[in-house]
Structure 1
Amino acid sequence: MKTGLNLAVLFDMQEALDQHIRCKQNIPADADLVPYLVDALDVEIAELQNEVRYFKFWSADRNMRRETALREYVDGLHFFLSLGLAFGIPREFEPIPHHYDDIRKQFRALKRYVYIIEGPMQWYIAFNLFLGLGELLGFSWSEIARAYAEKKQDQP
């Protein structure tokens, strides 16, 4: 299934942002940030879960906060792209989103793979699950790309 994603453009934008952050924070170019990126991605996925609210059986308000969820999703995309750059994922990579029919299963599968990301293979699987999650949440690629570009404008 073709997603319409232009990952090359996103990878380029993310690479520029990552280089700016390294320079601003005096992080050596050869510093391995993968463990920190994985932890940050894990946190962003948890924040997304909190905005989706599917698990809050005790709450009278279990409706997803769509705009906030989209922002959290884009935050996760930033870290996925940074990890992809660190692992040398080809910019022409054509993802194949995968999703289950159950949002809980989707989050659990995604988190399982995020926990074990140490290289490209785990990244590919987790990224395809992440894209499938976006589909399950009803986010179109054009919305995701727009939100990514807007967030990028807010950053240097």
Structure 2
Amino acid sequence: MNIKKLFEVQKILDDRITKEHSLEGYYLIPEKTLALQVELGELANEWRGFKFWSKDQSPRIKVAKRPSMNYDDIEWHNPLLEEYVDCLHFLLSIGLELGFHRDAEVYLVKITDPIQMFSKQFQLIIQFEMSEGRQAKQNYYYGMLSQFLGLRKSLRFTWEQIEQAYLEKNKINHDRQATGY
């Protein structure tokens, strides 16, 4: 996965949204951070591994988009991957707005347990929100990005799957802007 390429693709979408919604000069980090938290919750919900009360803890990786009488005509999608990519959109957008994309640092994450990884991701988002000063924000941002990219291994996504799904969702997001979503 080429993270710099994804930053470039996200910038085109962000610029479009900024222009079409007259958001020039607005500081949207609080909104983007909340959106990231919401999407991360949706990702955890599709993962289902924390649902100790449920007999069905299998991740939602193959769901019919539209029912069909003929099994061969069913169009499938992967809600878990889609939510992962939604989170990635907001992570990239935050990095772009703060100018952290130019030298994005990603380091290896040692945590491999998905529950710990989700919890750590939420913790890093809150620390990012509460931090003051550019250097502190940048440090927490790189932590969030690294932690999130590390989560992909626990969710069993390849870099290629993520990049392809990201580009597909980016196109959908452009289409949504064109139709007044």
Q: TM-score, normalised by structure 2?
A: 0.79
Which residue number corresponds to residue 41 of structure 1?
36
Which residue number corresponds to residue 2 of structure 2?
6
User: Equivalences for 1:18-37 in 2 at 5 Å?
Assistant: 18-27=14-23, 29-37=24-32
Deviations 1:5-35 (A, max 9, x none): 31221111111101111122221x2110001
Q: Please tell me the residue identity of whatever aligns with 2:168.
A: E
Using CA pairs under 8 Å that are at least 6 residues apart, name the structure with larger relative contact order, 1 or 2. Answer: 1
Partner Cα distance (1:143, 1:14) in 2: 17
Partner Cα distance (1:134, 1:108) in 2: 15
1:141 equivalenced with 2:159 (yes/no): yes
Deviations 1:92-135 (A, max 9, x none): 53422414131111111111001121421110001100011111
How many residues end up aligned between the 2 structures? 151
User: What secondary structure sits across from 2:13 in the alignment?
Assistant: helix
Contact 2:7–2:101, Cα closer than 8 Å, also in 1: no
1:80 equivalenced with 2:80 (yes/no): no
Task: For structure 2, list consecutive stretches of 5 or more residues without a partner in the other structure.
Answer: 62-77, 130-136, 175-181
Identify the match of residue 116 of structure 2 among 105, 108, 124. Answer: 105
Counterparts in 2 of 1:64 and 1:75: CA distance versus 1, 3 Å: same
Q: Which piece of structure 1 moves more, 75-84 or 113-122?
A: 113-122
- Rg: which structure is higher? 2
Contact 1:47–1:72, Cα closer than 8 Å, also in 2: yes
Contact 2:60–2:80, Cα closer than 8 Å, also in 1: yes
Q: Please tell me the residue identity of whatever aligns with 2:51.
A: K
Partner Cα distance (1:76, 1:134) in 2: 12
- Identical positions, percent: 37
Partner Cα distance (2:17, 2:149) in 1: 25
